[in-house]
Structure 1
Amino acid sequence: MTGPHALKPFLLAYPGPLRDQLVAAVLAGEKVSTTGLLVEWQIENEELPEVGERSALIDSDGREVAVVEVTEVRVLPLGEIDLQHALDEGEGYLSVPEWRSAHERFWHSEEMREGLGDPGFLVDDGTMVVAERFRVVESLQVG
């Protein structure tokens, strides 16, 4: 039994339709990987997730809906992301370019630029990313 705030939050995108879609894909077992910019961790001065680390998946309403466990963490240039990782993101991508295009739209969004404090921020092949794999170990949904 996990009490509230016992686990650090596992946040996907920003609250709203995209987060709702991603959380649903995780709960359905379709999304088992995610990708973030390394610079996000550096700005927040946070340590990278470690294999075995558990966190609480948070929905758009701020509720903990599942416990997820990290099963793999890779830090690599964006240009080295492989098809399996893109497919495992569970968002229906059929190719790496399709996956990358959607991620670049998000990373270049106003919210993201604001979060990074860098309106001129641009992503390219050499941009370092954190590719995580995870699994749901417990659903916290009621009903």
Structure 2
Amino acid sequence: MRALELGSPGALRDELNGLVLAGAKTATATLLVEYGEEGELLEFPGERFALLGNQGDVLATVEIATVATVPFGEVTWEFAQAEGEGYTDIEHWRRAHIRFWQQVEGRHITDDTAVVCVHFTLCR
């Protein structure tokens, strides 16, 4: 079983994992380029992942529901809401993700940047 590590280690990962465990977060977005850099394959529907905490501990299992690669500028409001992080509109989602990907990861983001949008369910 592959591992799912949300956000960056520390408080952000704790927050995102808490949202998954509470059932509020049912989606996550990753830049497509990161898959190639890390030698990872895209997720596929039905695949299960171990949701990992900051210490590498397994917190839960999630099952992939859907996977779609879309340009950053075409990510939908419905997807942004499924991320469960309290975005008020799609522009709020875009600003937050640009900030994270540019400031934390040093990426240049345009409307054409490929984003992998994954929906998942928490296995109980």
**TM superposition score normalised by structure 2:** 0.96
Residue 78 (structure 2) pairs with residue 84 (structure 1): yes
* Structure with greater Cα Rg: 1
Q: What letter is aligned with 2:24?
A: E
Counterpart CA distance in 2 for 1:47 and 1:61 is 24
Gapped regions of structure 1 (runs ≥ 5): 1-6, 114-120, 139-143
Count how many residue pairs are aligned between Structure 1 and Structure 2. 124
Q: Which runs of 4+ in 1 moved over 2 A?
A: none
| Cα deviation, residue 123, structure 1 | 0.2
Q: 1: CA distance between counterparts of 2:50 and 2:43?
A: 13
Q: Is the counterpart of residue 69 in structure 1 residue 63 in structure 2? A: yes
Deviations 1:68-106 (A, max 9, x none): 000000001001011110011000002111011111111
Residue identity in the other structure for 1:137:
C
Q: 2:93 aligns with which of 74, 94, 99?
A: 99
SS at match of 2:70: strand
* Equivalences for residues 48-63 of structure 1 within 5 A: 48-63=42-57
Gaps of 5+ in 2: none
Aligned alpha-carbon RMSD (Å): 1.0
CA distance in 2, matches of 1:105, 1:11: 19
Aligned partner of 2:121: which letter?
R
